[in-house]
Amino acid sequence: QSALTQPASVSGSPGQSITISCTGTSSDVGGYNYVSWYQQHPGKAPKLIIYDVDNRPSGVSNRFSGSKSGNTASLTISGLQAEDESDYYCSSYTSSTTLVFGGGTKLTVL
Amino acid sequence: EVQLLESGGGLVQPGGSLRLSCAASGFTFRNYAMSWVRQAPGKGLEWVSVVSASGDSTYYADSVKGRFTIYRDNSKNTLYLQMNSLRDEDTAVYYCAKDRGSRLSGASDYWGQGTLVTVSS
């Protein structure tokens, strides 16, 4: 159950778009369309922002979008805003009927 | 309004035991899988365990298999995590989380506020 691979940090200026990658294997990301993304502000519980690769829960801004190609999933945030500064985690269902998270990515809005 | 309220955390010595509870309200508890996810201080999220909606299926991370037991009481709308043989590396904030479906999908749409477990002598 190795963690999915995410960049430790990304940054962007307000109004720009950024993309966070999440790389796994054919036993997790590549094998199932059960990739989720979470936003977590310091001291707070995670918030689901993308599920099943590219679906947004009700109430989540359409500036957040997800995609997948092979063993790598991606989260794109367009029109970057100051309040987007946060930690982001991907997760994937695995062939062992478990869940694995990425190591997390700290997004800095410059 | 969906609410998940964890309790039972605290300070425990290595080798000790602790039981966490998560009281759920605002949704039909018996229809959804429930998970425990933990986060060590300053670290990332780590999935711990899941129980299906009916309670008949449970799965665990390798790091806790054989030491932790997840179960639920659908009559009391409560999720539990029995933690035995605790180790220093089990120190973390433990979150309970509601899945979007009746079995594990990895999409947890509601989370509790977390309860801190500290394993230390």
Q: What is residue A95's predicted lDDT score, i.e. its pLDDT?
A: 93
Q: What is residue B106's predicted lDDT score, i.e. its pLDDT?
A: 82
- For residues A23-33, give the mean pLDDT: 96
- Is it the case that residue A1 has pLDDT exceeding 80? no
Which residues of chain B lie closer than 8 angstroms to A98, CB-CB?
A: 47, 50, 59-61, 104
- For residues A34-52, give the mean pLDDT: 97
Q: What is residue A110's predicted lDDT score, i.e. its pLDDT?
A: 92
* Mean pLDDT of all residues belonging to chain B: 96
Residue A3 near chain B (CB below 8 Å): yes
Q: What is residue A2's predicted lDDT score, i.e. its pLDDT?
A: 83
Cβ atoms of A105 and A39 closer than 8 Å = no
The continuous run of DSSP H or E covering B117 comes out as: strand B115-119
Tell if the CB–CB gap between B59 and A101 is shorter than 8 Å.
no
- Is it the case that residue B20 has pLDDT exceeding 80? yes
Q: What is residue A55's predicted lDDT score, i.e. its pLDDT?
A: 97
Q: What is residue B2's predicted lDDT score, i.e. its pLDDT?
A: 96
According to DSSP, the residues that pair with A20 across neighbouring strands are A75
Q: What is residue B101's predicted lDDT score, i.e. its pLDDT?
A: 87
Q: What is residue A70's predicted lDDT score, i.e. its pLDDT?
A: 97
Taken in order A81, A67, B63, B110, is the CA torsion positive or negative? positive
Between strands A9-12 and A105-109, the pairing is parallel
- Quote the CA–CA distance of A48 and A88 in Å, as a whole number: 10
State the Rg of chain A over Cα: 13
Which residues of chain A lie closer than 8 angstroms to B100, CB-CB?
A: 51
pLDDT in tens, A67-80: 999 999 999 999 99
Residue B108 near chain A (CB below 8 Å): yes
| Percent of chain A scoring above 70 in pLDDT | 99
- Quote the CA–CA distance of A89 and A84 in Å, as a whole number: 13
pLDDT in tens, B71-105: 999 999 999 999 999 999 999 999 999 999 888 88
pLDDT in tens, B28-82: 999 999 999 999 999 999 999 999 999 999 999 999 999 999 999 999 999 999 9
Cβ atoms of A80 and A64 closer than 8 Å = no
For every residue of B7-18, DSSP letters joined together read E--EEE-TT--E
Q: Looking at residue A57, what DSSP letter applies? A: P
Q: Which of B33, B29, B58, B47 is nearest to B95 (CA)?
A: B47
- For residues A7-25, give the mean pLDDT: 97
Q: What is residue B121's predicted lDDT score, i.e. its pLDDT?
A: 93
Nearest CB to B61; choose among A51, A92, A98: A98
Which of A65-97 are b and which e, b meaning 16 or more Cβ less than 10 Å from the residue's Cβ? bbebeebbbbbebeebeeebbbbbbbbbbbeee
CA distance B88 to chain A (A): 20
